[in-house]
């Protein structure tokens, strides 16, 4: 007895989703997540030099996965979700740990966490209610991610080499993080409203019943 078309379609969908995980860019993204516990361990142990090296390797993998996705034409739906999630987990966790150790003032971490939690919650609700899946990061969101990476980098570097110019760079990137976090959150609200309207207009209208 041959499998039904619906069962065959479901099997093909599962195979397609699994094949997306096996692409080189997505493997690099998963590897970036694997760096996280080791970076935290080195920070807690006070080995900031090793923590900085591991963080830089995670950053290199972040750049490589996007480059490989474009060069190898392996841009997948899974990657569009997985890459920003990996960035948020890595950076938000490091902000939290460094605040607990009094290396980053708490106000920056509270703002970062408030934005990320709000965006994740709003995305989940919009997906559940309206089926909206277009959550591409805006230019301000990318600037916010860059400023967070710079802030963590210079906070760790300051612990390795406590000189004035590094302290200044750390302060600049932390303030940029504070600014871009607020701006990107407000811009995200505007973008979601626009994409939700476009998504609603793209939906097929229900046929009217003739009397």
Domain of residue 51, CATH code: 1.20.120
Position 167 scores a pLDDT of 97
Residue 208 counted as domain residue: no
* pLDDT one digit per residue (tens) for the chain, 211 residues: 555 555 554 554 454 454 555 676 677 777 788 888 999 999 999 999 999 999 998 888 766 766 666 666 656 656 566 777 888 888 999 999 999 999 999 999 999 988 888 777 766 666 666 555 555 667 888 899 899 999 999 999 999 999 999 999 999 999 999 999 999 888 887 877 776 666 565 555 555 554 4
- CA–CA gap between residue 85 and residue 29 (Å, rounded): 10
Helix (H) or strand (E) holding 135: none
- CA–CA gap between residue 44 and residue 97 (Å, rounded): 8
Nearest to 83 by CA among 18, 23, 33: 33
The answer to whether the beta carbons of residues 123 and 81 sit under 8 Å apart is no
Residue 87 counted as domain residue: yes
What is the number of domains present in the chain?
1
Position 11 scores a pLDDT of 52
Domain span at 120: 13-199
58-93 pLDDT tens trace: 888 766 766 666 666 656 656 566 777 888 888 999
Residues 22-38 as b/e (b if ≥16 CB within 10 A, e otherwise) read ebebbebbeebeebbee
- CA–CA gap between residue 93 and residue 209 (Å, rounded): 54
- CA–CA gap between residue 110 and residue 114 (Å, rounded): 6
Residue 6 counted as domain residue: no
Tokens of residue 155, six digits: 């906070």
Residue 205 counted as domain residue: no
Residue 107 counted as domain residue: yes
Nearest to 79 by CA among 27, 3, 131, 40: 27
Residue 209 counted as domain residue: no
The answer to whether the beta carbons of residues 104 and 155 sit under 8 Å apart is yes
The answer to whether the beta carbons of residues 199 and 129 sit under 8 Å apart is no
């Amino acid at each position: 007895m041959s499998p039904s078309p619906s069962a065959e379609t479901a099997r093909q969908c599962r195979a397609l989703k699994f094949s997306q995980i096996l692409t080189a860019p997505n493997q690099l993204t998963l590897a970036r997540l694997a760096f996280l516990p080791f970076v935290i361990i080195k920070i807690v142990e006070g080995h900031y030099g090793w923590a900085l090296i591991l963080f830089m390797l995670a950053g290199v993998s972040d750049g490589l996965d996007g480059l490989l996705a474009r060069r190898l034409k392996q841009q997948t739906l899974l990657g569009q979700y997985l890459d920003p999630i990996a960035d948020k987990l890595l950076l938000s966790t490091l902000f939290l740990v460094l605040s607990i150790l009094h290396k980053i003032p708490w106000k920056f971490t509270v703002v970062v966490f408030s934005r990320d939690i709000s965006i994740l919650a709003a995305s989940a609700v919009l997906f559940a209610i309206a089926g909206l899946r277009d959550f591409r990061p805006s230019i301000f969101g990318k600037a916010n991610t860059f400023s967070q990476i710079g802030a963590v980098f210079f906070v760790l570097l300051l612990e390795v080499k406590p000189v004035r110019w590094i302290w200044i760079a750390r302060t600049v990137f932390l303030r940029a993080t504070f600014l871009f976090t607020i701006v990107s959150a407000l811009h995200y609200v505007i973008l979601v409203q626009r994409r939700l309207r476009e998504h609603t207009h793209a939906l097929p209208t229900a046929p009217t019943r003739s009397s």
